[in-house]
């Protein structure tokens, strides 16, 4: 050990460099050890609820643009982020106006809260309306408003690409499809689920969205999963945990709430909620109407790595 190091244990040895590097490449080398390399502690993902952001986007006098659900400061992320790998926004698109949707992301997931319009990407167009879900690959897309003001919820994995210092693939090479899930078909699919028995090992009644290119993994992009969860009046979703983060849009339901690590989180219309990884959580519907909540997770990572860690309490 060099004389200048006065450490008594491996953990006390600071990061090391070659004292006399023979080249710029050697000078860039850094050395840690098995005692000091694995003590990196990052800020946790907050157990957050966003209510001001939807209220701002839905305000009658709101302008066309985006309102970001940003927790970057809490997590020390270098760019806007709702979770370390996902970013949720509300998009306001006033009647007859256009909105640029050019994101550095593998794909963007959209839910139409109100209004109607058209989304265009690489020569393809989707005519969307309230209650629809649609997905676009990363890159340049444009939204055009219809005859009424529109508000949409959109989630991307921009923080993931920023972390990897990479960019969205060109359209011809993307594994993310341009795909449209109309509201009427979503409802028809959910009704089908309620027409059969649930079974004992199912975590609630949820419709999982996928596409032609992603169907083998049941994802909507390589790393993002998308589901419309439901709860009948008076029912609850059994307490469970998993390693993926959940970013949730409250779509429908009165007198509904979640319990996350023994802390109650009340729902409000169109709120975005964040459920931290590994947290024990359950959802409850004490109201008189069906509850619906759209959930985006970074689950593709954990399924691929065989580390989802899903379990009931």
Annotated domain spans of the chain = 1-41, 49-312
**pLDDT value of residue 197:** 85
Q: Is the pLDDT of residue 3 over 50?
A: no
Distance CA 181, CA 210 (A): 10
CA angle 223, 309, 303 (to 5 degrees): 25
**pLDDT value of residue 258:** 95
DSSP 8-state assignment for residue 171: G
Provide φ and ψ at 225, rounded to 5°: -110, 155
Provide φ and ψ at 125, rounded to 5°: -135, 140
**pLDDT value of residue 297:** 97
| Homologous superfamily, domain 49-312 | Jelly Rolls (2.60.120.10)
**pLDDT value of residue 137:** 96
Residue range 111-139: mean pLDDT, rounded: 97
Q: Is the whole model's pTM more than 0.85, yes or no?
A: yes
Confidence of residue 1 (pLDDT cuts 50, 70, 90): very low
Model confidence over 180-235: pLDDT tens digits?
A: 999 999 999 999 999 998 776 676 799 999 999 999 999 999 999 999 999 999 99
Confidence of residue 124 (pLDDT cuts 50, 70, 90): very high
**pLDDT value of residue 198:** 75
Confidence of residue 6 (pLDDT cuts 50, 70, 90): confident
**pLDDT value of residue 8:** 86
Residue range 5-12: mean pLDDT, rounded: 84
As a whole number, the mean pLDDT across the chain is 94
Model confidence over 40-98: pLDDT tens digits?
A: 899 999 999 999 999 999 999 999 999 999 999 999 999 999 999 999 999 999 999 99
**pLDDT value of residue 4:** 61
Distance CA 179, CA 226 (A): 13
Query: Which positions ≥6 away from 243 have C-beta within 8 Å?
Result: 277, 278, 302, 307, 308, 309
Distance CA 145, CA 152 (A): 11
Model confidence over 244-274: pLDDT tens digits?
A: 999 999 999 999 999 999 999 999 999 999 9
Residue range 138-142: mean pLDDT, rounded: 93
**pLDDT value of residue 259:** 96
Provide φ and ψ at 58, rounded to 5°: -90, -5
**pLDDT value of residue 203:** 67
DSSP 8-state assignment for residue 11: G
């Amino acid at each position: 050990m060099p004389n200048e190091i006065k450490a008594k244990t491996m953990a006390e040895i600071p990061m090391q460099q070659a004292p006399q590097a023979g080249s710029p490449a050697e000078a860039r080398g850094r050395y840690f050890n098995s005692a000091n390399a694995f003590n990196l502690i990052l800020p946790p993902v907050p157990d957050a609820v966003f209510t001001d952001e939807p209220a701002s986007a839905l305000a009658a006098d709101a302008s066309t643009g985006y309102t970001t659900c940003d927790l970057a400061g809490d997590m020390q992320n270098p760019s806007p982020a709702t979770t370390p790998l996902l970013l949720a926004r509300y998009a306001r698109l006033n009647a007859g106006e256009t909105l640029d949707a050019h994101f550095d992301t593998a794909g963007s997931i959209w839910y139409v809260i109100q209004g109607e319009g058209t989304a265009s990407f690489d020569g393809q167009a989707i005519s969307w309306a309230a209650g629809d879900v649609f997905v676009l690959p990363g890159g340049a897309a444009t939204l055009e408003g219809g005859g009424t003001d529109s508000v949409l919820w959109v989630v991307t994995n921009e923080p993931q690409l920023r972390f990897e210092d990479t960019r969205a693939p060109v359209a011809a090479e993307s594994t993310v499809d341009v795909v449209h899930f109309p509201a009427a078909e979503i409802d028809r699919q959910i009704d089908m689920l309620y027409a059969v028995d649930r079974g004992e090992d199912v975590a609630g009644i949820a419709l999982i969205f996928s596409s032609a290119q992603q169907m083998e993994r049941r994802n909507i992009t390589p790393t993002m999963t998308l589901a419309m969860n439901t709860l009948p009046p008076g029912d609850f979703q059994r307490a469970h945990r998993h390693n993926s983060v959940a970013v949730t849009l409250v779509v429908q339901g009165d007198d509904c709430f979640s319990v996350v690590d023994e802390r109650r989180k009340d729902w409000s219309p169109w709120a975005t909620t964040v459920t931290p990884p590994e947290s024990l959580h359950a959802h409850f519907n004490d109201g008189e109407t069906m509850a619906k909540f759209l959930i985006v997770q970074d689950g593709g990572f954990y399924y691929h790595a065989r580390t989802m860690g899903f379990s009931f309490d």
